[in-house]
Amino acid sequence: MLALCLLLNPSSLAAQGAAVGGAQSLAELDRAVSANPTDPAARLRLAGALLQAGAQDRARFHLMRARAAPLTETDRAHLDALLARIEGRRDREGWLSFAIVPETNPGQRTDADTIWIGGLPFHLNTDAQAERATGLHVNAGGALMPQVGPGLRLRFGASATARLYSDRALNDVTLRGEAGFQGQTMAGHDWQFTGSVARRDLGGRRFGHGLGLHLRWSHTMGRTTLLRWRAEAVDWRFANHPALDGPRLSASVEARHVVRPDLLVSGTAAVTRVHARAAHEAGSTLRVGLGAERGFPGGLVLGVDAFAERHRRDGSDPLLGILRTDTTAGLGLRAMHRDFSLGSFSPVLEVSSTRQRSNSALHSWRNTRVSMGLSRAF
């Protein structure tokens, strides 16, 4: 335990990491964690070397996982002090992931060839039916957080998400910029308050733009439970669909609990309120989700996520004459190996299936996809 205490000491961890790094490479330290993902000492040695290498986000990840181990109060105090120092020096963040994604129905269209309206059958053309496609999915962004005072930083960020297909009608691209403040309260709660501007293009054409306000709040309960609250209001305007114009209000809470250094569980609950000029485009959505991620000896990491949501429109559909109600559920599995990387990127394999049931056959659909991608956080 003395060695562990010395390793956790904030004043000596960087030096300890340098000493360890001199004898062992990062790859060797990574393999030690892969071989025994429940060993806190292995994670702490790797965290020390990562800090020495300047990889603070990766070091923070392993320190947070080590908090779930049965440490002494002294060790835990040292670890918490180190985490606070890392967070206090964090003045930028970034992310990048991309994947090749074959899907059975990326357009979320019905697989029916006939729908009934007013007791009469209508045959759908192929453009309105489910169709397979393979896309390139990209998610990238970053932020600068210069410090302007004790516990207070400015925040300037930009991000882009894109789903690109050979059939340009399926292309979906969103660009977003944000500016605001973030900081930490005296009680150790993290917060952000930002304004945003966003633009969304569908099928290569401008679809809409939005101006929003966003509030985020998080704090740690006990040793290993992180709670996050989010609330936002975004006023959307649509180029050729004015019936959709209006604000979108949403609030959510997420809990992430590290059961052991090798096991993470999570849960989310969210509610969204859509206002629109046309009542049949307005409505409310309730969503719940559960997830888990487990690391196994040897380096394999498996994750599972499931969600269910229910959406109800405010007004009757002018074409179908019904008050539309949709229920959507999905299940996803992902796998990666800690000891396998391509440069600075980690390959991730994901398989997911989503199904929506609706009282409108036109809006009932299912989609299965396989994602083979690379991810990097830096």
Query: Highest-confidence range of 77-81, 257-261, 269-273, by mean pLDDT?
Result: 269-273
Instruction: Give 111's contacts (C-beta < 8 A, 6+ positions apart).
Output: 105, 129, 130, 365, 366
Instruction: Give 2's contacts (C-beta < 8 A, 6+ positions apart).
Output: none
Domains in the chain, please, with CATH?
2-89 (no CATH), 92-377 (2.40.160.60)
Amino acid at 349: L
Over residues 185-216, the pLDDT tens digits come to 777 688 999 999 999 999 999 999 999 999 99
DSSP alpha helix (H) spans, 9-95: 13-23, 26-35, 40-52, 56-66, 73-89
> pTM for this one?
0.83
Amino acid at 148: V
Q: Is 75 exposed, middle or buried (0-12, 13-18, 19+ CB in 10 A)?
A: buried
Average pLDDT of the chain, as a whole number: 86
Residue 6, pLDDT > 50, answer no
Q: Which residue has the higher pLDDT, 20 or 250?
A: 250
Over residues 67-110, the pLDDT tens digits come to 777 777 777 777 877 877 777 778 888 899 999 999 999 988 88
pLDDT value, residue 205: 92
Which residue has tokens 């989503």? Answer: 354
